[in-house]
């Protein structure tokens, strides 16, 4: 087995940050390469590591939800990124959302001050030599030069889709005489600001979205662009049908303003309930900034301001960031990667984050943890590991690296988010969904603890 004196991690997003930390914590010197500020990207706004360019939410906190189970597994694995997400969380109902500025600043400080971490602020234009132990975590915005080398190296010409980010606005510009604070079904604190629409307002809003002028998609032919289903632009949803948004991000069910009257009164409930609701989620600890939930968009900025100010409560909204769309790059991982996240044709190269075809922040962190842990093990002369397929991390990585499973589908490989459908069936059928997810959770966490005790980290 080859021995390496150090590890190179390319990309300081969520996955690269986690990977570099795990390598350094294992006592192996690591060089972390980040192109910003040497070269900017279409979506980033700062030079900090692990900057969240889309939502500030890591998904549901509850451990009987797929994202929440990922969080719990990562905590057991001593993930730096999830620990900092916990430290800088902001109110978001049942979700783990963070103050993105403080979160990324803290992670940048942690890596910068680690004695075994060397930071290079430069663009990685080409693949390292096979003799170098490397983790590629350049993410969805991989530079074209490196992306071109990856295409040549993998032999697969096209691996991309488009992703979008939601607008952020100032909290004190929201009209709370119309909008109101509440959580769906009154679960937890009133962490969301809700902007209710009646039917006429909703239909007018939808019509405006369908006719709005979109920004030009750069780098790729717009006619051939595809979108990840979990992050569709709001205008795309509007075009899919009259009620699509109402059964998606604008779902009004379970949201009630006490000023409308007594929710227990059936007549009041039927006459006053909203036809659709736009929700805003807190972005920072102070509550000065609010994110439009589910409002990923590729509309031109002027169109965004004009149309989004039609929403009741947002007529005078001041936007600090408009929605943007950017290209996401990912590999055809089932054909290229081992379950250890090593390239089949070059085991000294590992890959992590959205580049492997997982979707979601927590999933990117999970890939970073596994790639960083395995890079450290290889550097120390140990075998690379996988995690049990009964864990959410193990199941997700197994799915995106399994040529047998994905070959059963006639469609091409597309990014996959964490979900309970990836996990092996329970020994006995559990009909109640919440109880079933709880059983998945208990099995996953128990078997992860067993796996941790069997490995020498």
Which position has the higher pLDDT, 127 or 119? Answer: 119
- Residues in a beta bridge with 95: 60
- Which residue has tokens 């969380």? 89
The full length of the chain comes to: 457
Question: In the chain, helix, strand, coil percent, each to 5?
Answer: 40, 15, 45
Q: What is the DSSP string of 273-324?
A: S-SEEEEEEE-STTS-EEEETT----B-HHHHHHHHTTSTT-TT--EEE---
pLDDT higher than 80, residue 265? no
- What integer best gives the mean pLDDT of the chain? 88
Q: What is the DSSP string of 382-409?
A: PPP----TTSHHHHHHHHHT-HHHHHTS
pLDDT higher than 60, residue 406? no
168-327 sits in which CATH class? Answer: mainly beta
pLDDT confidence tier of residue 225, bands split at 50, 70 and 90: very low
Contact status, residue 233 vs residue 296, Cβ threshold 8 Å: yes
**pLDDT tens by residue, 132-186:** 999 999 987 777 788 788 888 888 765 665 666 789 898 989 999 999 999 887 7
Q: What is the pLDDT of residue 165?
A: 75
**DSSP assignment letter at 337:** B
Domain 7-159+330-454 has CATH 3.10.580.10: no
Q: What is the pLDDT of residue 17?
A: 98
**pLDDT tens by residue, 13-60:** 999 999 999 999 999 999 999 988 777 665 666 889 999 987 899 999
Handedness of CA 440, 442, 446, 449 (dihedral sign): positive
Q: What is the pLDDT of residue 320?
A: 79
pLDDT above 90 as % of the chain: 62
CB neighbours (10 Å) of residue 91? 16
Phi, psi of 365 (to 5 degrees): -60, -45
- Edge-to-edge strand ranges of the sheet holding 319-321: 180-182, 192-197, 276-282, 289-292, 168-170, 319-321
- Domain 7-159+330-454 and domain 168-327, same fold? Reply is no
If DSSP codes are grouped into helix, strand and coil, which group holds residue 10? Answer: strand
Q: What is the pLDDT of residue 55?
A: 85
pLDDT higher than 90, residue 283? no
Cα(202)–Cα(70) distance, integer angstroms: 36
Domain positions in the chain are 7-159+330-454, 168-327
- For helices 361-379 and 66-76, the axis angle rounded to 10 degrees is 30
Q: Which helix (H) or strand (E) covers residue 49, if one does?
A: none
Phi, psi of 326 (to 5 degrees): -145, 160
pLDDT higher than 90, residue 192? yes
pLDDT higher than 80, residue 426? yes
C-alpha count within 13 angstroms, C-beta hemisphere, residue 402: 15
Q: What is the pLDDT of residue 220?
A: 41
């Amino acid at each position: 087995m080859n021995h390496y004196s150090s590890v190179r991690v390319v990309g300081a997003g969520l996955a690269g940050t986690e990977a570099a930390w795990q390598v350094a914590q294992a006592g192996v010197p690591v060089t972390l390469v980040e192109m910003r500020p040497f070269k900017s990207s279409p979506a980033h706004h700062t030079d900090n590591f692990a900057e969240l360019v889309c939502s500030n939410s890591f998904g549901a906190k509850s451990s009987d939800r797929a994202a929440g189970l990922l969080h719990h597994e990562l905590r057991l694995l001593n993930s730096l990124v999830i620990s900092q997400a916990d430290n800088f969380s902001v109110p978001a109902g049942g979700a783990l959302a963070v103050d993105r500025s403080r979160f990324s600043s803290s992670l940048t400080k942690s890596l910068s001050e680690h004695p075994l971490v060397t930071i290079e602020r430069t663009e990685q234009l080409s693949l390292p030599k096979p003799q170098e132990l490397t983790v590629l975590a350049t993410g969805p915005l991989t530079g074209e030069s490196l992306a071109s080398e990856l295409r040549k190296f993998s032999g697969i010409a096209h691996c991309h889709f488009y992703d979008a980010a939601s607008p952020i606005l100032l909290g004190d510009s929201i009209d709370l005489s119309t909008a109101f604070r509440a959580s769906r079904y009154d679960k937890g604190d009133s962490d969301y600001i809700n902007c209710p629409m009646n039917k006429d307002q909703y239909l007018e809003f939808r019509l405006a979205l369908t006719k709005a002028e979109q920004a030009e998609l750069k780098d790729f032919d717009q006619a051939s662009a595809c979108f990840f289903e979990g992050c569709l632009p709001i205008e795309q949803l509007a075009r899919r049908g009259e009620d699509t948004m109402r059964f998606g991000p604008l779902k009004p069910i379970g949201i009630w303003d006490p000023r409308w009257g007594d929710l227990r009164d059936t007549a009041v409930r039927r006459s006053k309930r909203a036809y659709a609701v736009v929700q805003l989620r807190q972005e920072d600890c102070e509550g000065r900034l609010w994110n439009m939930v589910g409002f990923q968009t590729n509309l031109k900025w002027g169109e965004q301001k004009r149309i989004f100010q039609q929403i009741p409560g947002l007529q005078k909204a001041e936007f600090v960031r408009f929605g943007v769309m950017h290209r996401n790059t990912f590999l055809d991982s089932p054909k290229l990667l081992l379950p250890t996240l090593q390239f089949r044709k070059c085991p000294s190269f590992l890959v992590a984050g959205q580049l492997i075809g997982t979707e979601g922040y927590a999933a990117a962190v999970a890939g970073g943890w596994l790639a960083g842990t395995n890079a450290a093990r290889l550097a120390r002369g140990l075998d690379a590991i996988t995690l049990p397929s009964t864990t959410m991390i193990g199941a997700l990585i197994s799915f995106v690296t399994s040529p047998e499973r994905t070959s059963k589908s006639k469609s091409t490989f597309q990014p996959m988010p964490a979900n309970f459908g990836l996990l092996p069936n329970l020994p006995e059928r559990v009909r109640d969904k919440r109880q079933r997810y709880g059983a998945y959770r208990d099995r996953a966490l128990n078997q992860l603890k067993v796996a941790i005790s069997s490995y020498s980290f």
